[in-house]
Structure 1
Amino acid sequence: MDKLFSLFENADPFKTWWPAIAAVVFGAIIMVRTLMSGQRCPNDNQIRDQIVIVTGANSGVGLETAKALAARGGRIVLACRNMAAGERMARVIKRELTCQRIGADAEGEFFVEARYLDLRSFESVHRFARRITGEFERIDVLINNAGIIFGSLGGRTVDGYEEHLQVNYLSHFLLTQLLLPHLRRSPSGGRVINVTAHAHAAAKIDFDDPLNVGTWSVKFHARDAFAHSKLAVMLATRWLARQLKGTPLTVNCCTPGLVRSTGHLRNSPLMSAISVKLMTFPWMWLFMKNPFEGAQCAIRLATDPKLKNVSGEYFNDCEIAQSSLHGRDIALAKKLYMQTIKELEKVTKLTIDKDIEGETSPLAITADSTEESHHRKLALEAPKKKHQGKQKQKN
């Protein structure tokens, strides 16, 4: 070892190739790392007092997204299943932002609060929506970020659906529908941001059963189930954007890219052995983003006024990107959307105001036996009665 050190110490850069090789290797590593880290959010716009909900915000990309939006003045709700972690992260965010802000001596000026949400249960989604709509008069941004990968093979939720499908897609779909009336009240135009993944390009999907819930449906491997759920997110985003056309509401989807240190790979077969973790760590550091870098695309979608009228698009590295062929199939998007409604009708009684062929009316949620749905129906019917009154006056 001493001989090796002396070789470097006594090396003449003009007579030996060691310094040149070291410089080239170091430069290549820095260049690759810079390219793989992706583009940063190109603006520092403030969203003062806007109400932002981020699902899965107690760690990873969701945490970094929430932290950045809180720093820009947003009132942030961390929608988490792990309330202990969510409340701890809320305190951490407020403490860090207070330390960063000159002259700020109290955490009170930052609103960052955790609320319980378990996406494995539609009932939990309903309870969360009821609490949020009772607590806030409007919602400005909804970021459907939470998700799972490498879930248990054949695992089913309490509602009977495959875990990846419900957590990554169905529950977020339901949550969006429940919060649409409040999103419409945003003076800046409500924004829905759905997080998908590069994996959508590898998804297997059947046009006759795009949700893969039929009697003869294919049983996916966990990796394929994740890809399938993320393609469903993208297709539903495109069709909902059509449904909301002509309104100030926008809905887009984005991919954070390949992100490390999120906990998503803890159940991966490749990460089960310590030796494999040690071997893959340098490559993960080099070729994968960290959570802060992965959050940049969602941050731009939530804050950039230039995207106020952009809807139904897929974003990667803060720019509009082209998705897979399936991801651009509008007929498939409609088929998936309609099947999703039929499935959720069993537990939420979703209906459509007008024929979906008209592509003009978003979903409404009709009443059931609960007080929650009764109040939601009244909120939905109020604009209709107002519109009908105007028509009678014209007549």
Structure 2
Amino acid sequence: MKIAIVTGSTGGIGYVTAAELARLGRHVVIAGRRPEALRAAAARIRAAYPYSTVSTGELDLADLTSVRAFAGRILVDHPRVDLLVNNAGVMAVPERRLTADGFELTFGTNHLGHFALTGLLLPALLAADAPRVVTVSAVIARRGRLDFENLDLRTGYRPMRAYSAAKLANVAFALELAARADGLRSIAVHPGTAPTGIQRHVSGPLRFLADRVVALLGQSVEDAARPSLFAATDPTASSGAYYAPRGFGEGRGLPAPARIPAAAQDPSTRTRLWTASERLTGVSYDLAARAG
């Protein structure tokens, strides 16, 4: 049975992704921070699909100790992992906060946590026959800017500046992993516009505006999960590609190739981000470890 791990899968797009993968016959590891939410998500999937097999794992991407502990358990329980969906994230945190390791929370959670997790799980991914890593970004990645002298936004912190930079980092990471990892399909996606719950930190007026935008241009959470599921399961999904809804403004519609942010296409930017991520997380990728 194929093994799939979905981060941030107790609700929203992550839950829909995990549930559909379970319906398709994958053993799905639901990864999240809160034990009670993990249990509830697993119970919902089992009730909907009684033949499915799901398990849970506590994972806090804002704490590298938690990331290492989760990866260690996975490597023992599942020596081969066929699919990792880097889905979890935080958005629009109103003031600058730090992770357990002292990183700016949005960048630390959305990018560094997933960078570390993917690297730590690499032996199990490379042991699978046709492994995939799907990294979920956002349309706002095109407005992102990676300031390598100020990645933690010690100065000039703004909620959406932090979010757009982290989402740009997601795309750049996915493309660089595709370039470096022979035999592993690394794909970036974004879900378009949908009421996913990630907007919980957004202020009242901005949330009101966001709700109106979703109503006019967006789609359901179920539809917003389609790019992730396409990248995770479709045989035509290409490594190093970026998929998003094909409709107006990439807000809704069926998955299709999307325009890659210019910064993520720049090899020097991707290399600088990779080097900085290894230094900050202490996780190096052993890309020679693919099993025969």
TM-score scaled by length of structure 1 = 0.67
Aligned match of 1:183: 125
Q: Which amino acid aligns with 1:133?
A: L
- Structure 1 residues 324, 126: closer, same or farther in 2, change over 3 A? same
CA shift in 2, pair 1:327/1:66, >3 Å = same
Q: How many residues get paired?
A: 283
| Match in the other structure for 2:192 | 257
1:110 has 2:52 as partner: yes
CA contact (8 A) 1:129 1:178 kept: yes
The answer (yes or no) to whether the contact 2:107–2:152 under 8 Å persists in 1 is: no
What's the TM-score once normalised by structure 2's chain length?
A: 0.90
Distance across 2 between alignment mates of 1:70 and 1:285: 29
Q: After TM superposition, give the deviation of residue 285 of structure 1 in Å.
A: 2.6
Instruction: Tell me the CA shift for residue 281 of structure 1.
Output: 4.7
Distance between the aligned counterparts of 2:103 and 2:25, measured in 1?
Answer: 38
Partner of 1:154: 96
Partner of 1:202: 143
CA distance in structure 1 between the aligned counterparts of 2:6 and 2:59, rounded to whole angstroms: 11
CA-to-aligned-CA distance 1:248-289 (integer Å, 9 cap, x gap) = 2110110011111x22222211358xxx74x87565333222
Distance 2:220 2:36 in 1: 23
Q: Does 1:130 align with 2:72?
A: yes
Pair 1:292 & 2:222 matched = yes
Q: Is the 8 A contact 1:212 1:218 kept in 2?
A: no
Q: Which residue of 2 aligns with 1:93?
A: 45
Name the counterpart of 1:364: 286
Q: Is residue 321 of structure 1 aligned with residue 258 of structure 2?
A: yes
* Gaps in structure 2 of 5+ consecutive residues: 246-254
Instruction: Please name the residue that 1:342 is paired with.
Output: 279
* Structure 1 stretches lacking a partner, 5+ long: 1-48, 99-108, 351-362, 366-378, 387-395
Question: What per-residue deviation string (whole Å, max 9, x for no partner) do you get for residues 125-146 of structure 1?
Answer: 0000000111112100000000
* Contact 1:78–1:115, Cα closer than 8 Å, also in 2: yes
Q: Which residue number in structure 1 is paired with residue 248 of structure 2?
A: none
Cα distance change of structure 1 residues 218 and 88 upon mapping to structure 2, 3 Å threshold: same
Q: Distance in 1 between matches of 2:225 and 2:144?
A: 23
Structure possessing the higher radius of gyration over alpha carbons: 1
Q: Is the 8 A contact 1:94 1:112 kept in 2?
A: yes
RMSD: 2.2
Secondary structure of the corresponding residue to residue 120 of structure 1? coil
2 CA distance for matches of 1:76 and 1:239?
26
Contact 2:3 2:83 in 1 (8 A): yes
Q: C-alpha distance in 2, partners of 1:137/1:205? A: 35
- AA aligned to 2:225 is A
Alpha-carbon deviation of 1:114?
A: 1.6
The answer on whether the counterparts of 1:201 and 1:324 sit within 8 Å (CA) in structure 2 is yes
Distance between the aligned counterparts of 2:3 and 2:77, measured in 1?
11
Aligned to 1:121: 63
Distance in 2 between residues matched to 1:213 and 1:91, nearest whole Å: 38
Aligned partner of 2:200 among 255, 266, 273: 266
Task: For residue 152 of structure 1, report the CA deviation from its aligned partner.
Answer: 4.2
User: Matched residues, percent identical?
Assistant: 28
Structure 2 CA distance, aligned partners of 1:282 and 1:263? Answer: 15
Choose the corresponding residue for 2:240, options 312, 323, 326: 312
Aligned 8 A contact 2:64 2:281 in 1:
no
Aligned to 2:20: 68
